[in-house]
Amino acid sequence: MSTGIILLTLFICYIYMLLKWKDVILLSAVTVGAAGVSMLIHYYMTRPLEKAIHAITQETTQISEGHFEGQVPQIGPIEFQRLAGQFNHMTGKLNESFQKLRSAEVSRRELVANVSHDLRTPMASIQAFVEALQDDVIQDKATFARYLQTIRLETGRLDGLIQELFKLSQLDAGGTEFVPERYNVDHLLLDSLQSLAFQLEEKQLQIDIDLPERLPPVAIMPQEMKRVLSNILDNAIRHSPVGGTISIQAKQLSAPYVQLNIQDEGQGMEEADSKKIFDRFYRADPSRTRTSGGAGLGLAIAKSIVELHGGTIGVESQTAIDNRGSRFWFTLPIDQ
């Protein structure tokens, strides 16, 4: 358009005899040549911009279709490279958010399936025994009392599952406020072991405790941490052989934490199981039998409580072939 205006101006000047025809031809040639050079420079300068805009447009199309794995190449001027970097950061955040949503949906489905599985067996057992009692099938008092005892145990199992689900949902929703108290580790161990005295005596298990002479008090919510320790000890008792030993060790770390280690003498677990042991409803026994454990929520609750305290939890285990047991550990913040 600019070139056309210049040429029109030169033609008007020639008509009004302000310029000679030779001058018009010369100026027109210079104008057209300058316009050509300008167009070439403009083309090569805007080409990277077009590529960058085209790449961003393609990526936005992929995002609109639900694909967040792509990356916009950082090409063109510095401003467009920054824009591409910010765009990649945004898509990364979106991908992370949608992965969490997908994971949450998968967890929700597994939760429904596992809860249904764990509720079905005791409910069926209770229904069968209640129907037998209502139909007067049972006549002798001993069998009648045994049926009532079974119903009581199954209802207690249902209540325990409901309480665990409620506690887990409370932790997930942030409904548990962190109000720590100054507490001694030896008192924590003593209270937890006393609550499990019957199970320990039943399997004739020995407890080997290794505590340093001077161990600083920790800042914890005692009842919550007792639940953590009880869940881990209950797991160790369940998998220890009769007459075995459970070793408990406490030590102060270089960071402001105290670490507790609980070692059993069971068969241990495979590496694949140790990575999933803290997942909800996960049990290393694929048959999910009642004799092999609870609902699979105890260690998940323990992990949530430890993380609420700002600590970490983990497990180290030998394979089932080595028969060297598993060592669970978690950290507690030192009261400062």
Tens digit of each residue's pLDDT (9 = 90 or more) over 34-74: 888 888 888 888 887 787 787 778 877 877 777 777 777 77
When pLDDT is averaged across residues 225-238 and rounded to a whole number, the result is 88
Q: Is 50 exceeded by the pLDDT of residue 317?
A: yes
Query: Could you report how far apart the first and last alpha carbons of the chain are, in Å?
Result: 77
When pLDDT is averaged across residues 298-303 and rounded to a whole number, the result is 84
Angle at CA of residue 222, ends 331 and 174, nearest 5°:
80
> Which residue in this structure is represented by tokens 């993380």?
307
When pLDDT is averaged across residues 13-26 and rounded to a whole number, the result is 79
Percent of the chain with pLDDT over 90: 7
When pLDDT is averaged across residues 96-115 and rounded to a whole number, the result is 75
CA atoms 150, 151, 156, 159: torsion sign? positive
Question: What is the number of other CB atoms lying within 10 angstroms of the CB of residue 318?
Answer: 18
- DSSP 8-state secondary structure symbol assigned to residue 335: P
Q: Where residue 288 falls among pLDDT bands split at 50, 70, 90? A: very low
What size, in residues, is the chain?
Answer: 336
d(CA 297, CA 222): 20
Tens digit of each residue's pLDDT (9 = 90 or more) over 213-227: 888 899 998 888 888
Mean pLDDT (the chain) is 80
When pLDDT is averaged across residues 69-94 and rounded to a whole number, the result is 79
Looking at residue 290, its pLDDT comes to 45
Looking at residue 331, its pLDDT comes to 92
Tens digit of each residue's pLDDT (9 = 90 or more) over 182-203: 999 989 898 888 888 888 888 8
Judged by average pLDDT, the poorest of 3-7, 239-243, 302-306 is 3-7
Query: Looking at this protein, which amino acid is placed at residue 293?
Result: G
- Give Cβ neighbours of residue 119 (< 8 Å, ≥ 6 apart): 158, 161
What pTM did the predictor assign?
0.58
Beta bridge partners of residue 219, listed in sequence order: 182
